[in-house]
Amino acid sequence: MNIITHAGAEAVTTDGLHWDIYVRDPELVSDIADHIPVQTSEIRYGSWSQQAGLKRGAIYPSEDFRILEQYGAQVYAYLLQHHTDVPFPLRDTTELWLLDQQGRPLGLLNSTTENSLLELDCFIDWRAGQDCHRNFRSSSAETLTGLTGTDCQAGQYLTQLVNERAGPQPAAQWFRRCPDGSGIGLQGIHLQDELENRTLPAGDFPRYFLREDGWSASQQQLVRDFLAWLAPCQLLLQDLDRPARQRFEQLAATRALEVDRHFRLYPQVLDRDTIQAARVEAALRRDETQTEREDETMATYYIELNVTRTN
């Protein structure tokens, strides 16, 4: 996620093309103590892309909203000048890690910027994600669970596996990561007192968000299959060395749609032919999907009315 923020407004993009602009009133929480995490509702100023232009959100006839309008207009003006500057440098150097039963970082749960509040009232179970539950497949998961084919819920099993390793009373800790990769331990959730203020070397932190060692052979392969499946997202990292980036580019090519979605935020592309081939494949697949939809459109006299529920 790349963000432009100023005063009470921010513009957010996850693909480098489409931006959502939100406004809020920072005065609403100005009297609340700094150590208390606060979440305020935000009002959509609008959405913008270079192709579609600005689509405004709802406009409210009030003096307070006019102030929010000014915030939104300032961020929008800046966005028009700097939207091509993505990817912005990553600044979320404070990370919340689920710990294993030896107190070592096991899986990344959250991250925030240096000056943000640290959330201490939250669930600390690790989750593979909805897309993973729907689409991730691994032969190792089939071996471990005894399930095969589409019945194998690899993402669900991986989620269970990671949380079991955290133990019956899981703990998590915030770390401020240093330029050399080491981490200074801050506050935590269900954290033993002696673990606060510790410093861990870079090698104690999983490089790709989830610990790869300490598993059985089949479990380790499942974890590595998952990290390989995440290759289109791993390429967003700005500190990948050349061999790692080359490897992830090759792995990412098997997920063309995800590569096309993220590539504008890739800080570097080494194998341009591989990435371009994936983008071409993504374009062809979208065209095929659109053609299938058009072919499946029935004549109006054959369409039955039905209730469509929108959440």
Buried b (16+ CB within 10 A) or exposed e, 143-177: bbbeeeeeebbbbbbbbebbbebbeeebbbbbbeb
Distance (Å, rounded) from C-alpha 42 to C-alpha 228? 36
> Which among 12, 90, 110 has a CA at the least distance from the CA of 267?
90
> Which among 17, 14, 12 has a CA at the least distance from the CA of 53?
17
Distance (Å, rounded) from C-alpha 133 to C-alpha 205? 25
- At residue 139, the pLDDT reads 87
Specify the pTM. Answer: 0.83
pLDDT in tens for each of the 311 residues of the chain?
899 998 889 999 999 999 999 998 766 555 555 544 445 557 899 999 999 999 998 877 777 788 888 999 999 999 999 999 999 999 999 999 999 999 999 999 999 987 667 888 889 999 998 999 899 988 888 788 775 554 558 999 999 999 999 999 999 999 999 999 999 999 999 999 999 999 999 999 999 999 999 999 999 999 999 999 999 999 999 999 999 999 999 999 999 999 999 999 999 999 999 999 999 999 999 888 766 655 554 444 434 433 444 33
| Spatial contact of 244 and 237, defined as CB atoms under 8 Å apart | no
First to last CA, the chain: 24
Count CA within 13 A, CB hemisphere, residue 254. Answer: 12
Phi and psi dihedrals of 276, rounded to 5?
-65, -40
CB atoms within 10 A of CB 297: 9
> Which among 112, 96, 93 has a CA at the least distance from the CA of 190?
96
3-state secondary structure of 272: helix
Residue 299 to residues 150, 291, 308: CA-CA distances in angstroms? 34, 16, 19
Measured CA angle at 185 (ends 183, 186), to 5 deg: 130
Q: Tell me which H or E stretch contains 108.
A: strand 105-112
